[in-house]
Structure 1
């Protein structure tokens, strides 16, 4: 069995794409996933699967959600190593005045090129900052996520990817849950 974390994009936001987590859990169990566990209402779902391929797992989850709920929900699937890399490679954590409430991670559906940061035109969002690390973008919002245009939709449009953003507290809790699952 392979352990995966599916990050669903855009569910239960402002009354759109509403999916109750217990219904999602049941759906995924019935679809053949094992050890299904959800975390908060924003669409974080741990699953065990015989399929090692994260893209295939994400596609299956996306199909099942559409068949059952009628919602077209993009899904980014990551592993424990992806979350561990967030802590290792997020240089904003090393700043002396790091405010974890302003730190976010955008998880991207594919690995980004070195030029992707230029494609985002980050300078137009100052004082917000961002750095790219493979299939993650570390973001430091100056005023918070609600007061910026550097959001999921902008990232997806500029880079032609599927993206989903999680705050640092959620990333921390997801890693803890992943570690608990490995016991």
Structure 2
């Protein structure tokens, strides 16, 4: 049995793509996923399945959400090692007086190429900063997520990927739930 974490992008935000977590849980159980559990309303869903391939799981979840709720929702599936890497590889955490309230992680639909940092054109979003780590981008916002151009849409446009962003508190809680 494999445990996957599905990160749904753009549900229950400002009244758009509304999905109750109980209804989502039931829909995923109906297609055979076991031990389905959610964390907060923003679309963090743990599932257990025999399916090892995360991309396949993400595709099945995306299809079921469209079938049951009528919403086209991007889904990125990660595992425990992805979350652990957030703690091991995030250099912002090593800075003196690190303010974790300004730290976020963008989970990306594919491994990023070595030149991806240039593609982001970070000079356009200063003073925000980022670090690329495989299929993750560690973000440190200067002011906050609500007052930046460096958001999920910006990342998707510059890198031609699907992305979903979680704050550091959520990333921490998700790893605790995995454990």
- TM interval, shorter chain, is over 0.9
For residues 97 and 119 of structure 1, what CA distance do their matches in structure 2 show? 30
TM-score, normalisation: structure 1:
0.97
Gaps of 5+ in 1: none
- Residues 1:66 and 2:69 aligned together: no
Q: Which runs of 4+ in 1 moved over 6 A?
A: none
Match of 1:41 in 2: 41
Match of 1:15 in 2: 15
- Residues 1:156 and 2:156 aligned together: yes
Deviation digits for residues 96-147 of structure 1 (CA, Å, limit 9, x no counterpart): 0210000000000100001101101012211100010000000000000000
Match of 1:24 in 2: 24
For residues 148 and 19 of structure 1, what CA distance do their matches in structure 2 show? 27
For residues 134 and 125 of structure 1, what CA distance do their matches in structure 2 show? 21
For residues 140 and 120 of structure 1, what CA distance do their matches in structure 2 show? 14
Q: For 1:119-158, what aligned pairs fall within 5 Å after superposition?
A: 119-158=119-158
For residues 20 and 158 of structure 2, what CA distance do their matches in structure 1 show? 31
Deviation digits for residues 126-171 of structure 1 (CA, Å, limit 9, x no counterpart): 1100010000000000000000010001111111111000000000
Counterpart secondary structure, 2:98:
coil
Count, aligned residues: 179
